[in-house]
Amino acid sequence: MYEAELERPMSHEAETLESVMEDHRITAKQLALWCDCHKSTIYRYISGEKNIPIALLRHLYERTQDARLAQLITGIVPTQIIVLIDIEQQPRGASIPVPPIDQLLPDSTATVKACADGVVEMGKILADGKVDERDRQSIAKFKSLAADCNRRLAQMVAALTNHERRAANGEAVSA
């Protein structure tokens, strides 16, 4: 066996399996019983020596409902694409619709604060590794809120950029 093989780093899957087992206080012996295999096989999965079969992940998911396992089983990692707008690079005449500043500031402040509160809540959901119905509702609400927050921030950047341009051109700038 090559020396590099002996020092092989633990795979993401193996790390996740070990972490889920620790978080849910599941022993290798328990998992081996559930999956009808020997506990030494479980240790090989945890060490990264053997690939973890999907059937084992499913057995463990059925017992724990841990979202990390669902991602391993499906291979789907939730993503959200956020388009960052560089106002300075926008083609001439292109614009982001910006509401009047007296409406934009309070709306943006409230949205960003609600989004920050949502980040704290999402952190709690991620920390416990479980997703129940209440969590699913919170996640759906946060996704919508995050999209609105991104829109509000883009509007704020557009308003500030327009304000800077007018000031640089010697135009009167007021709220």
Residue with tokens 């328990």: 30
Residue 158 binned pLDDT confidence (cut-offs 50, 70, 90): confident
**Quick check: 57 and 72 in contact, CB under 8 A?**
yes
Residues 123, 66 share a domain = no
Query: In total, how many domains does the chain have?
Result: 2
Look at residue 53 and tell me if it is in a domain. yes
pLDDT at 25: 93
Residues 109, 46 share a domain = no
- List Cβ neighbours of 93 (8 Å cut-off, separation of 6 or more): none
Average the pLDDT over 29-48 and give the result. 92
Domain that holds residue 50: 3-74
**Quick check: 104 and 41 in contact, CB under 8 A?**
no
Taking only the tens place, the pLDDT of each residue in 51-71 is: 999 889 988 988 888 888 888
Question: pTM surpassing 0.85?
Answer: no
What is the C-alpha separation between 173 and 162, in angstroms, rounded?
10
What is the C-alpha separation between 115 and 1, in angstroms, rounded?
52
Look at residue 79 and tell me if it is in a domain. no
**Quick check: 14 and 48 in contact, CB under 8 A?**
yes
Residues 56, 16 share a domain = yes
Residues 13, 41 share a domain = yes
- CA-nearest of 59, 61, 65, 76 to 131 is 65
**Quick check: 45 and 14 in contact, CB under 8 A?**
yes
Average the pLDDT over 16-33 and give the result. 92
Task: Decide which of 45, 74, 103 is a domain's last residue.
Answer: 74
Residues 158, 91 share a domain = yes
Q: What is the CATH number of the domain that holds 22?
A: 1.10.260.40
Look at residue 141 and tell me if it is in a domain. yes
- CA-nearest of 155, 74, 161, 169 to 112 is 155
**Quick check: 95 and 150 in contact, CB under 8 A?**
no
pLDDT at 39: 92
